[in-house]
């Protein structure tokens, strides 16, 4: 590897007010490589990226891009240098067509007129999508009518259209299913061989392992290691990130069986799933998993009242559960930690206290008025118990990190004293440290007698935390297994094919194994 590194940030320091986000962090990315950046939230990843993007000016340190020292970066300038960022938020105008969104700012026009050449626009868009992902999305479709994953594909393609020299990807596969993630990886590998340099930020260490030539680990505002995933194991990388022994991630759980909490019999909700029969007991953690469209998620929605079942019965503590609305479900002490935290879980513009007590307001009401002291105590208790890092219960949620926001979501149902808690992908987008806290809480919940139903696509999480796992495939419940000693390959096969493998001949599916 001759010549300058594509990127060299050295000794970057950055403080905000009193808090020091970066205390001498360095990141050196060689040209034509895929370089991973990992670290917990709070380690300084996002700040470092923002410094690179020209959004923040560093207090100290140097930035070299392609060998040239660059001071005074701005977002526009950074782009002219060939660095393109793809953020987690989908930055696509919802009412533009795919073609328009792809080429916004670079619209092909009729010569020397300001008029857009629509046919060219659509042609170029289709070409770009095919080159990048080998997909043929309808270029006239509106962005808001696309599925999340498709929007992600458009977003990434858009960055590629500008022929960047360095591509920075921030959690790009969060919304992608396996097949699409694969396409992305193949695209990245192809672009790498064409000379593209990639900076890849992700919580999914399996992806880091697969794609990256080098990985920089950030911890507490500093880079603590620069290793190659080929020679360093995932477990080692994780311990570098959290400075803690990984195996203690999942709390040990003695088997505990209480009375039945939920009993379904032939439960169906067309077209999502049919004929689902299972029992969940108090104190149990039951995982639910399956591919997108398998019915796993819909089961959660049905139990929580987001959609009505049209067949079969559900008993909650022996009595029929009629939950036509979430309000009815909540009244029966059922709680839901939703997948889309920002849209359904918490409001960024409400305070910690307001968010946390929302489902349990009746418990804090006397004669129509809120019992303020009681509420404050309850919230303070939860903040302490879950270790929520915040300036106080009146702080608006937008000032909290993702992991802490998720803890607030959890505390909603703890304060509500839900008897059945449904968790939908509870640790997606949550950093390792917070994950451990959340696992501990979930386990404790179950120990205290609640029943936990956990939708997850994280196999480690399922086998490590749940007592049993229900596997859905194409709308049917195909397996109800104890997780003790469960073979991961068999689980994977059940998820992807609906049947246990006869021989372990199935190709190694690269499912997102996260830590």
Q: At closest approach, how far in Å is the CB of 256 from another protein?
A: 28
Instruction: Enumerate residues 6+ apart whose C-beta is below 8 A from 25.
Output: 9, 11, 12, 13, 44, 48, 61, 218, 221, 222, 223
How far, in Å, are 24, 173, 219, 257, 296 from residue 48 at the CA level?
10, 20, 12, 48, 38
The structure tokens 């004929």 sit at: 275
Q: At closest approach, how far in Å is the CB of 288 from another protein?
A: 12
The tokens of 35 are what?
Answer: 């370089």
- Which residues, listed in sequence order, are joined to residue 8 by a DSSP beta bridge? 28, 64
Q: At closest approach, how far in Å is the CB of 104 from another protein?
A: 5
Q: At closest approach, how far in Å is the CB of 124 from another protein?
A: 14
Report the residue number, 364 or 439, with the smaller CB distance to another protein: 364
Chain centroid offset of residue 287 CA: 18
The tokens of 296 are what?
Answer: 């796993």
Report the residue number, 252 or 369, with the smaller CB distance to another protein: 369
Burial class (CB in 10 A: 0-12, 13-18, 19+), 171: middle
Q: At closest approach, how far in Å is the CB of 271 from another protein?
A: 8
The tokens of 351 are what?
Answer: 């305070």
Helix (H, G, I), strand (E, B) or coil at 505: coil
Q: At closest approach, how far in Å is the CB of 121 from another protein?
A: 9
CA distance 472 to 496: 9
Report the residue number, 31 or 297, with the smaller CB distance to another protein: 297
How far, in Å, are 104, 105, 368, 429 from residue 109 at the CA level?
12, 11, 63, 40
Q: At closest approach, how far in Å is the CB of 22 from another protein?
A: 13
How far, in Å, are 5, 7, 279 from residue 68 at the CA level?
10, 9, 64
Report the residue number, 438 or 486, with the smaller CB distance to another protein: 438
Instruction: Enumerate residues 6+ apart whose C-beta is below 8 A from 169.
Output: 86, 156, 198, 199, 200, 201, 202
Report the residue number, 133 or 273, with the smaller CB distance to another protein: 273
The tokens of 118 are what?
Answer: 């629509």
Q: b vs e for 211-249, b when ≥16 Cβ sit within 10 Å of the residue's Cβ?
A: bbbbbbbbbbbbbbeebebeeeeeeebbebbbeeebeeb
Instruction: Enumerate residues 6+ apart whose C-beta is below 8 A from 252.
Output: none
Report the residue number, 120 or 483, with the smaller CB distance to another protein: 120
Instruction: Enumerate residues 6+ apart whose C-beta is below 8 A from 469.
Output: 286, 287, 288, 289, 462, 463, 479, 480, 481, 483, 486, 491
Name the maximum alpha-carbon separation found in the chain: 76
Report the residue number, 233 or 365, with the smaller CB distance to another protein: 365
Report the residue number, 103 or 211, with the smaller CB distance to another protein: 103
The answer to whether the peptide bond before residue 271 is cis (omega within 30 degrees of 0) is yes
Report the residue number, 86 or 211, with the smaller CB distance to another protein: 86
Q: At closest approach, how far in Å is the CB of 342 from another protein?
A: 9
Q: At closest approach, how far in Å is the CB of 423 from another protein?
A: 13
Q: At closest approach, how far in Å is the CB of 161 from another protein?
A: 11
Report the residue number, 79 or 265, with the smaller CB distance to another protein: 79
Residue 133 is classified by DSSP as: H
Report the residue number, 110 or 258, with the smaller CB distance to another protein: 110
Q: At closest approach, how far in Å is the CB of 362 from another protein?
A: 7
The arrangement of strands across the sheet holding 319-320 comes to 273-281, 260-269, 311-316, 319-320
Q: At closest approach, how far in Å is the CB of 335 from another protein?
A: 9
Report the residue number, 195 or 271, with the smaller CB distance to another protein: 271
Report the residue number, 423 or 465, with the smaller CB distance to another protein: 423
Q: At closest approach, how far in Å is the CB of 74 from another protein?
A: 11
CA distance 130 to 152: 15
Instruction: Enumerate residues 6+ apart whose C-beta is below 8 A from 244.
Output: none
């Amino acid at each position: 590897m001759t010549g300058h590194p594509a990127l060299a940030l050295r000794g970057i320091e950055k403080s905000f007010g009193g808090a020091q986000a970066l205390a001498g962090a360095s990141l050196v990315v060689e040209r034509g490589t895929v370089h991973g950046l990992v670290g917990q939230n709070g380690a300084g990843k996002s700040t470092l990226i923002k410094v690179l993007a020209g959004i923040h000016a560093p207090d100290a340190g140097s930035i070299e891009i392609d060998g040239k020292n660059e001071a005074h970066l701005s977002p526009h300038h950074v782009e002219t240098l060939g660095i393109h960022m793809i953020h987690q938020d989908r930055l696509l105008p919802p009412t533009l067509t795919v073609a328009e969104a792809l080429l916004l700012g670079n619209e092909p026009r009729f010569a020397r007129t300001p008029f857009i050449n629509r046919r060219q626009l659509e042609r170029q868009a289709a070409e770009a999508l095919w080159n990048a992902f080998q997909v043929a999305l309808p270029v006239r479709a509106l962005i808001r009518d696309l599925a999340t994953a498709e929007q992600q594909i458009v977003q990434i393609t858009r960055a590629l259209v500008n022929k960047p020299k360095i591509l920075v990807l921030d959690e790009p596969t969060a919304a992608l299913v396996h097949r699409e993630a694969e396409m992305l990886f193949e695209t990245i590998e192809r672009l790498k061989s064409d000379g593209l340099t990639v900076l890849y930020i992700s919580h999914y260490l399996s992806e880091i392992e697969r794609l990256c030539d080098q990985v920089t680990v950030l911890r507490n505002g500093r880079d603590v290691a620069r290793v190659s995933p080929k020679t360093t194991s995932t477990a080692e990388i994780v311990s570098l990130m959290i400075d803690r022994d990984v195996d203690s991630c999942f709390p040990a759980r003695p088997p505990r069986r209480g009375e039945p909490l939920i009993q379904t019999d032939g439960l169906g909700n067309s077209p999502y799933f049919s004929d689902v029969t299972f029992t969940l007991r108090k104190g149990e953690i039951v995982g639910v998993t399956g591919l997108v469209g398998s019915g796993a998620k819909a089961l959660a929605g049905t139990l929580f009242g987001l959609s009505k079942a049209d067949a079969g019965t559900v008993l909650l503590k022996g009595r029929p559960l009629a939950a036509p609305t979430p309000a009815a479900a909540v009244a029966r002490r059922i709680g839901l930690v939703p997948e889309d935290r920002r849209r359904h879980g918490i409001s960024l513009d409400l305070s910690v206290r307001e968010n946390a007590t929302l489902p349990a307001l009746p418990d804090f009401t006397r004669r129509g008025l809120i019992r303020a002291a009681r509420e404050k105590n309850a919230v303070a208790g939860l903040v302490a118990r879950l270790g929520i890092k915040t300036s106080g219960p009146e702080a608006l949620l937008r000032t909290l990190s993702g992991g802490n926001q998720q803890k607030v979501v959890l505390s909603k149902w703890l304060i509500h004293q839900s008897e059945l808690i449904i968790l939908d992908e509870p640790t997606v987008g949550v950093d390792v440290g917070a994950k451990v806290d959340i696992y501990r809480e979930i386990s404790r919940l179950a120990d205290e007698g609640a029943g936990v139903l956990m939708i997850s696509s994280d196999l480690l999480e399922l086998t490590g935390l749940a007592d049993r796992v229900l596997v859905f495939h194409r709308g049917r419940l195909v397996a109800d297994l104890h997780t003790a000693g469960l073979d991961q390959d068999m689980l994977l096969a059940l998820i992807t094919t609906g049947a246990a493998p006869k021989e372990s001949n199935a190709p190694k599916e690269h499912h997102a194994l996260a830590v």
